[in-house]
Amino acid sequence: MELPANRIWNVNLPKGEPRGFRLTGQDSRAYHDLVERRADPRSLPYYWIGGDAGPTYAKGAGSDAEAVFEGYASVTPLRLDLGCPETLARQADFHAAFNA
């Protein structure tokens, strides 16, 4: 299956042998109110969100999380452009609120 330009496949694998593959949408998740400052192997700082417990997934129908928690490999097509054109179209409102 071929993807249009600026698209990628995101593949998530379950623990153990997958029962099969599912074409999925992206699930939503909630991170817990914990942000830790850590250091990478070069001693550069980065921030770990949610602590060691990790996020809580919604596991919506047809989602990548649902597939993985049911033992399937999820294959999710994603866009690389995460821009929000409807907000960018409101530049005048933004300017008025933040640069007045």
* pLDDT(27) > 80: yes
What pTM, to 2 d.p., does this model score?
Answer: 0.65
* Alpha carbons 52 and 65: distance in angstroms, whole number: 18
Structure tokens at 14: 């379950």
| pLDDT score for 52 | 67
H-helix or E-strand containing 96?
helix 91-98
| More confident call, 33 vs 94 | 94
The one-character DSSP state at 33 is S
Q: What's the rounded Cα separation, in Å, for the pair 48 and 52?
A: 9
Give the pLDDT confidence score for residue 9 in this predicted structure: 95
- Mean predicted lDDT score pLDDT of the chain: 89
Phi, psi (rounded to 5 degrees) for 29 = -145, 155
Of 81, 78, 83, which is closest to residue 8 (Cα–Cα)?
78
Q: What is the pLDDT of residues 29-77, one digit of tens each?
A: 877 778 889 999 999 999 987 766 667 888 889 999 999 999 999 999 9
